[in-house]
Amino acid sequence: MGALTGTTVLEIGGSQTLYAGKLLADQGADVLLVEPLEGHESRRIPPFAPDASGDVTSISFAYFNGNKRSAALPLMEPPGLGAFPRLIDGADVILAGGRPSDITRLGITPTSLPERTVVTTITPFGWTGPYAEWLADDLTLSALGGLLNMGGYHDGRPLKVPGLQSYVAAGIFGAIGTVAALIEKETTGAGQHVDVSVHESVTMALENAAQFYDFEGTVRRRHGGSQVQAARGAYRCRDGYVYLMAGVRAEAKFWRKLLQWLDEESVPGRGVLSGEKWLQRDYVESEEAKELFHEVFSAFCAEKTQTELYTGARSRAIPLAPINDLTAVLDSEQLAAREFLRRVPREDWPHGPVTAPGAPYRMSATPWDGSYSPPALEVASTGPTERDGDRRPQVVDGMEEVRP
Amino acid sequence: MSRRPLSGLRVIDFCWVGAGSYTTRILADLGADVVKIESGKRIDQIRLSAPFKDRVPGVNRSGYFADRNSGKRSVTVDLKAPGARDLVLELMTTANIVTSNFSPGTMVRLGLGYEDVRRQRPDVIYLEMSMQGASGPESSQVGYGMTIGALTGLQYLVGEPGRPPTGTGTNYPDHVPSPGHAAFAVLSAVMHWRKTGEGQHIDLAQTEATAAVLGPQIMAESLGIHQVSEDNVNPDAIFHDVVRTAGEDRYLAISVSDEAQWQTLLSVLDLEAGPVARAGTVEERSAVRGLLESRTLTWDPYLLMEELQRRGVPSGVVQNARDVIVTDRQLAHRGHWARLPHAEMGECLYNVLPFRFSRTDVRPTVGAPRLGEHTNEVLEAAGWSADEVQRLTEEGVLA
């Protein structure tokens, strides 16, 4: 049993909500994804499973919605979901994505819902404000939120992380806000509007950049392809790159351990790295220090593989890691030992077996209970599938008559 | 402070540095009484990390620390001093939630493991969030958000062929995936506790919480579709990238999904119908960017954004830290930034959680604590006398 077993969630609208709905479903909530008749937009989000034989081809759709039920409803004309009062009345939580006007057009107005309902809206910019109705996507929101500016090379343009990360971030915060509102409701009996902004969710990720501007007036820039300071950056090794984070921060212990390692390996040029100046922020951030360190450490790395460097760093408690591609992630001994990755049974995707992330947390009393068997859009007419009988789309409120 | 969702719940918090402290900061904003157990003998590194107020280092002067620790109370205990363990265990009888992000085994070695605490407080919610989880051959590895990003593929997925991958350029896992999943797990545990009276143990591996945000990409890789940097491409879009504008290091992100928007963009930029970008090759995309930049380089990025938005083309300035604090009208309208007083730093800048509740205000109202600011207050409220507190301070237990 999950912590949210017995909680019913109606998820509707744009893809901003997908990860929030997944988090709630994986803790036991009964999440019903309300789709327009042509299917939720996330059925068309890449990447796609090649040569898929069934209705579900979007891998993203399977990942985000695999633990939800689905109902395809005619929502194009107002009152939208308002035409299905039993659905609204039966929901503890309404989770809606898109711009405020998109959401109200779907028949969701936070102030007109029953008092006990928690309504979580995940909108590009929040429910109100000068940008509230602006057009936006993952790229423009990553830009406006301030994170995009820090990704990419020091001599190049800003580069974005794949995978709708701004929506995932807002989904995480949306799930947090939703459960907090449910806890509050346990006390007061009243639900409320949890108004989540994707834009602000991105701004949560600026690390210390905002405080650097506030205190020092400095604006952090991209530093990809260069060292932030000596011993802090990506270094080429025999079979790829490693990331080292032994630059001097608050304490010098990692720097000392690193020097000890270089001593043990009799690394040429190691002597250059001696002296107290290497413990001063101003010096390790100087071009001279970065160049001197880079020369010595890169020559050391060039002889070794990612695994050799990672193993050596681990035994010495130095923060260094291989810059893994996802095949290396799939092959990780650590993730295997913890049984993190799950085999997903999908006969409709011929190039499998499919492997997917499992629990992002391990809870002893209410364990994660994920699934990657999303509903096909049109299964309702053919009955339950063999694999996962109760995950088929639900036909609700006499919808049989209305469906085309 | 008015009622909040976690009002009445106490967190005894051993978290330090990045992701852990951000987790309990979320709990503090949601109303929990977060008592941060720290020590002058082994200072939270972030207290000693730049930026500092007036650029003067000091344990109570870091803006980096402040943003991660608003609304908490600080109690200094030297966990290695004789008697410290008993004191902390007794304090834990008042705790609903215990949190830490040390290397696996540290809490057990301190005599403060889940079983130790559960004897004092059978219904405790006990969160441990180490880098790679409590078990497995690599569980002892130390790391930061950047190395977590490297291990999990996040960093690999941003960059150009032949150059080292760049990732987000930040310790991203520390700010969203790890604290976010951890806070969600704790809140779920609180829900369960409210219904059943039962506590539980939570083991969060920060690497796993980060891999979870790359779910579709990991699944695709397992199907043999090798995942590489997108180079800002969206295969469904006509144009989906950033272009340079007037100003130093200034870019505007533009996302054109249909022919009408593309024509509008060309018209705003006073360009003849140019080549259509689509996914194309690197060179083709670069040529289209070049064409657009021949005009955008003379545009102020904000004016161009406003004009494109007015005409229905999604766009957003690639904002930097100054922009989001000073320029962004939307963040200002939303009250995203809070400025809260601090006894040593004066006013300090804090992110507000990215949601507003209609009934319950969850904005932070109290800034970060000074080191040990609340030692006396917390212990005396929990039953220690002022004399005992003074004795324990002199003996170096409360230090």
| Tens-place pLDDT, residues B2-17 | 899 999 999 999 999 9
pLDDT of residue B272: 85
Interface of A with B in 41-60 (CB under 8 A): 44-47, 49-50, 59-60
Chain A nearest C-alpha distance from B387 (Å):
35
Asked if A359 contacts B254 with a C-beta cutoff of 8 angstroms, the reply is no
Chain B nearest C-alpha distance from A397 (Å):
30
pLDDT of residue B278: 67
Asked if A284 contacts A248 with a C-beta cutoff of 8 angstroms, the reply is yes
Instruction: Name the closest residue on chain B to residue A51, using Cα atoms.
Output: B223
Q: Residue B349 is nearest to which of A141, A211, A364, comparing CB atoms?
A: A211
Chain B nearest C-alpha distance from A84 (Å):
25
Q: Tokens 């995978």 appear where?
A: A163
Task: In whole angstroms, give the CA distance from residue B135 to residue A126.
Answer: 40
pLDDT of residue A400: 31
Interface of A with B in 68-107 (CB under 8 A): none
* CB neighbour list of residue A91: distance below 8 Å, 6 or more residues apart: A8, A9, A10, A32, A117
Give the amino acid at B11.
V
**A interface test, pick of B129, B196, B223 with most A CB neighbours within 10 Å:** B223
Q: How far is CA A189 from CA A182, A336, B358, in A?
A: 9, 44, 14
Low-confidence ranges of chain A (pLDDT < 50): 379-404
- Residue B328 corresponds to which tokens in the numbers above? 């962004």
Residues from chain A contacting residue B340 (CB–CB below 8 Å): none
Residues from chain B contacting residue A113 (CB–CB below 8 Å): none
Q: Is B328 labeled as catalytic in the residue annotation?
A: no
**Hey, how many other C-beta atoms are within 10 angstroms of the C-beta on A27?**
30
* CB neighbour list of residue B175: distance below 8 Å, 6 or more residues apart: A204, A205, A206, A207, B18, B19, B22, B145
List the beta strands (DSSP E) in chain B: 10-13, 33-38, 73-76, 97-100, 125-128, 200-203, 239-244, 251-256, 315-317, 337-342, 346-351, 355-357
Asked if B127 contacts B98 with a C-beta cutoff of 8 angstroms, the reply is yes
Give a three-class secondary structure readout of A256-267.
Answer: HHHHHHHHHCCC
List the beta strands (DSSP E) in A40-126: 69-72, 93-97, 118-123
pLDDT of residue A247: 75
**B interface test, pick of A142, A200, A218 with most B CB neighbours within 10 Å:** A200
Whether B177 and chain A come into contact, CB under 8 Å, resolves to yes
Asked if A160 contacts B230 with a C-beta cutoff of 8 angstroms, the reply is yes
Asked if B101 contacts B130 with a C-beta cutoff of 8 angstroms, the reply is yes
- Residue B342 corresponds to which tokens in the numbers above? 């601090």
Instruction: Name the closest residue on chain A to residue B103, using Cα atoms.
Output: A317
Instruction: Tell me whether residue A381 is exposed, middle or buried, using C-beta atoms within 10 angstroms of its C-beta: 0 to 12, 13 to 18, 19 or more.
Output: exposed
pLDDT of residue A379: 41
Asked if B12 contacts B378 with a C-beta cutoff of 8 angstroms, the reply is no
Residues from chain A contacting residue B351 (CB–CB below 8 Å): 203-204, 206, 210
pLDDT of residue B115: 97
Chain B nearest C-alpha distance from A89 (Å):
20
- Residue A187 corresponds to which tokens in the numbers above? 């006390």
Task: In whole angstroms, give the CA distance from residue A359 to residue A362.
Answer: 6
* CB neighbour list of residue A181: distance below 8 Å, 6 or more residues apart: A118, A120, A191, A192, A194, B5, B357, B360
Catalytic residue among B13, B33, B174, B241: B174
Tell me if B333 and A169 make a contact (CB, 8 A cut-off): no
Whether A253 and chain B come into contact, CB under 8 Å, resolves to no
Task: In whole angstroms, give the CA distance from residue B59 to residue B65.
Answer: 9
In sequence order, which ranges of B104-197 are alpha helices (DSSP H)? 106-109, 114-120, 145-152, 172-175, 177-196
Complex confidence, ipTM? 0.98
Give the amino acid at B81.
A
- Say what angle helices A165-188 and B177-196 make with each other, to 10 degrees: 20
CA angle B30, B31, B35 (to 5 degrees): 115
Q: Residue A364 is nearest to which of B157, B200, B329, comparing CB atoms?
A: B200
Whether A278 and chain B come into contact, CB under 8 Å, resolves to no
Whether B282 and chain A come into contact, CB under 8 Å, resolves to no
Instruction: Tell me whether residue B111 is exposed, middle or buried, using C-beta atoms within 10 angstroms of its C-beta: 0 to 12, 13 to 18, 19 or more.
Output: middle
Task: In whole angstroms, give the CA distance from residue B78 to residue B399.
Answer: 5
Characterise A215 by phi-psi region: left (phi > 0), alpha (psi -120 to 50), beta (else): alpha
First vs last Cα of chain A: how many Å apart?
Answer: 38
Chain B nearest C-alpha distance from A253 (Å):
12
Task: In whole angstroms, give the CA distance from residue B139 to residue A69.
Answer: 37
Task: In whole angstroms, give the CA distance from residue A322 to residue A310.
Answer: 6
Q: Is the peptide bond before B51 cis (omega within 30 degrees of 0)?
A: yes
What are the backbone angles phi and psi of residue A101, rounded to the nearest 5°?
A: -70, -35
The secondary structure of chain A in percent helix, strand, coil, rounded to multiples of 5, reads 40, 15, 45
Give the amino acid at B49.
S
Asked if A319 contacts B144 with a C-beta cutoff of 8 angstroms, the reply is yes
List the one residue out of A65, A67, A177 whose CA is nearest residue A122.
A177
Q: Tokens 């992330």 appear where?
A: A357
Asked if A143 contacts B319 with a C-beta cutoff of 8 angstroms, the reply is yes
pLDDT of residue A384: 31
Q: Residue count of chain B, please give it.
A: 399
* CB neighbour list of residue B138: distance below 8 Å, 6 or more residues apart: A314, A333, A334, B132
Instruction: Tell me whether residue A308 is exposed, middle or buried, using C-beta atoms within 10 angstroms of its C-beta: 0 to 12, 13 to 18, 19 or more.
Output: middle
Low-confidence ranges of chain B (pLDDT < 70): 1, 274-279
Whether B156 and chain A come into contact, CB under 8 Å, resolves to yes
* CB neighbour list of residue A382: distance below 8 Å, 6 or more residues apart: none
A316-348 per-residue burial string, b: 16 or more CB within 10 A, e: under 16: eebbbbbbbbbebbbebebbeebebbeebebeb
